[in-house]
């Protein structure tokens, strides 16, 4: 047993060192300080009281077991006043309940975010706490306050742990094409937006994609969801080289997609854009994402999808892949040994994905930068304009 543990630690170190050597400094510090994360798999706070609530004279759908069509049918039978009362009484439940009307979820999450902001402000002013705890609370208060800015559409919010948040850009009620950004390591409430370098955050990626869609097709009705809906790895530690958090996150991604299908205006499955470790989540969820229809999955900066070929993800999944030459992820071992690693490189011919150009992109987070081939290709794929996609070996 001890020998197996030593071998596992050695393998983890080898995987992490491969990335650290090509992205030294901050990444090395992250790797040294990283800890295993606690996955969030249970319903949000308030769920027990919600299940016991009989005030409407009927059972409320159990957040732990009810599927999206059941949830959608339940809310369709309520008056506006009943819906709003539930949102105010159980904001975390309604705000995270896939199948509930998106506009109602936006309202519920404003209540939930405001409550977390006020709680964080109170902690920041509590002199009985140590300075580090007060500073962390002050940062949480700032992060949540930004989410309350006018016009923001927060589709999901959960303050547990590092914090989960998902936001909609565009109009889900009228969108013909929907895209979902699935981020990788270090994505959480505190890193949802990156003011110094917006494209390092999933919010900035989503905004860039929506803008590119409108540039390519000004009249298109589209929406993009920045989905930080699972606990991501922290740094380059053990969680980054195993699929544990992806296995916990994949069912949450599938519930999101089921909710969009139950409440959306389009039958076209959303396009998934999966960055870095997010591609492991997408690969884990792949067998359930298409619902019998062809579904596009775009992976970029990927360490692997947990399989050896695209065909292993299911016949309904169309995989597009790209990695620019300056992305350090290319130096990570593409293999799976004893549960460590994420399988084959999606950008190889043997894998079987459609490899698209990312000319002009730099580094691990540069794929949505202006004027890059990757951003143009992502916009075309999101719109379904596949004839406009430039492959890696085509003239730019």
Tens-place pLDDT, residues 313-348: 988 899 999 999 999 999 999 988 888 999 999 999
Q: Is the pLDDT of residue 88 over 90?
A: yes
For residue 169, the model assigns a pLDDT of 98
Burial of 35 (C-beta count, 10 Å sphere; 0-12/13-18/19+): exposed
Q: Is the pLDDT of residue 16 over 60?
A: no
- Give the C-alpha separation, 278 to 248, whole Å: 12
N- to C-terminal Cα separation, the chain: 54
Tens-place pLDDT, residues 151-162: 999 999 999 999
DSSP tag of 299: E
For residue 162, the model assigns a pLDDT of 97
- Give the C-alpha separation, 286 to 353, whole Å: 14
For residue 239, the model assigns a pLDDT of 93
Tokens encoding 48: 């027990």
**What average pLDDT does the chain have?**
91
| Across 37-54, average pLDDT | 97
- The residues that bridge with 295 in the sheet, in sequence order, are 317
pLDDT band at 394 (very low <50, low <70, confident <90, very high): low
Q: Is the pLDDT of residue 23 over 60?
A: no
For residue 396, the model assigns a pLDDT of 56
| Across 286-304, average pLDDT | 89
| Across 348-368, average pLDDT | 97
The lowest-confidence range among 19-28, 55-64, 90-99, 290-299 is 19-28
**Degrees, nearest 5: CA angle 14-332-13:** 15
Tens-place pLDDT, residues 91-110: 999 999 999 999 999 999 99
- The residues that bridge with 182 in the sheet, in sequence order, are 274
Q: Are 143 and 190 in contact (CB under 8 A)?
A: yes
Q: Are 181 and 223 in contact (CB under 8 A)?
A: no
Which residue has tokens 């596992």? 8
For residue 343, the model assigns a pLDDT of 94
For residue 395, the model assigns a pLDDT of 59
For residue 218, the model assigns a pLDDT of 97
Q: Where are the domains of the chain?
A: 11-40+160-388, 88-153
Tokens encoding 160: 């547990």
So what CATH class is 11-40+160-388?
alpha beta
For residue 26, the model assigns a pLDDT of 44
| Across 243-255, average pLDDT | 97
The lowest-confidence range among 84-93, 168-177, 324-333, 385-394 is 385-394
């Amino acid at each position: 047993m001890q020998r197996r543990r030593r071998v596992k630690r050695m393998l983890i170190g080898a995987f992490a060192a491969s990335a650290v050597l090509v992205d030294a400094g901050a990444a090395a510090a992250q790797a040294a300080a990283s800890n295993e994360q606690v996955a969030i798999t249970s319903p949000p706070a308030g769920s027990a009281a919600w299940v016991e609530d009989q005030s409407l004279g009927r059972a409320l759908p159990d957040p732990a077991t009810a599927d999206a069509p059941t949830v959608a049918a339940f809310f369709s039978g309520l008056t506006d006043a009943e819906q709003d009362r539930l949102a105010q009484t159980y904001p975390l439940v309604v705000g995270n309940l896939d199948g509930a009307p998106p506009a109602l979820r936006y309202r519920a999450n404003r209540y939930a975010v405001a409550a977390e902001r006020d709680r964080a402000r109170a902690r920041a002013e509590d002199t009985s706490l140590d300075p580090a705890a007060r500073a962390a609370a002050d940062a949480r208060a700032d992060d949540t306050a930004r989410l309350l800015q006018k016009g923001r559409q927060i589709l999901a919010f959960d303050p547990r742990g590092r914090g989960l948040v998902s936001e909609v850009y565009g109009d889900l009620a009228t969108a013909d094409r929907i895209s979902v950004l699935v981020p990788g390591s270090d994505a959480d409430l505190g890193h949802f937006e990156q003011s110094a370098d917006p494209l390092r955050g999933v919010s900035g990626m989503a905004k860039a994609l929506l803008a590119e869609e409108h540039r390519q097709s000004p009249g298109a009705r589209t929406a993009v969801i920045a989905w930080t809906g699972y606990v991501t790895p922290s740094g380059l530690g053990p969680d980054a080289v195993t699929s544990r958090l992806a296995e916990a996150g994949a069912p949450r991604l599938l519930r999101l997609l089921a909710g969009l299908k139950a409440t959306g205006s389009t039958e076209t499955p959303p396009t998934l854009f999966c960055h870095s470790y997010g591609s492991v989540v997408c690969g884990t969820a792949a067998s359930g994402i298409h619902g019998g229809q062809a579904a596009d999955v775009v992976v970029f900066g990927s360490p692997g999808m947990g399989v050896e070929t695209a065909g292993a993800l299911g016949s309904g999944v169309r995989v597009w892949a790209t990695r620019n030459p300056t992305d350090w992820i290319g130096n990570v071992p593409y293999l799976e040994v004893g549960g460590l690693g994420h399988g084959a490189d999606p950008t190889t011919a043997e894998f079987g994905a459609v490899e698209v150009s990312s000319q002009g992109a730099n580094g691990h987070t540069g794929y949505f930068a202006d004027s890059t081939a990757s951003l143009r290709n992502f916009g075309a794929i999101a719109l379904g304009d596949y004839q406009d996609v430039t492959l890696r070996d085509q003239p730019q």
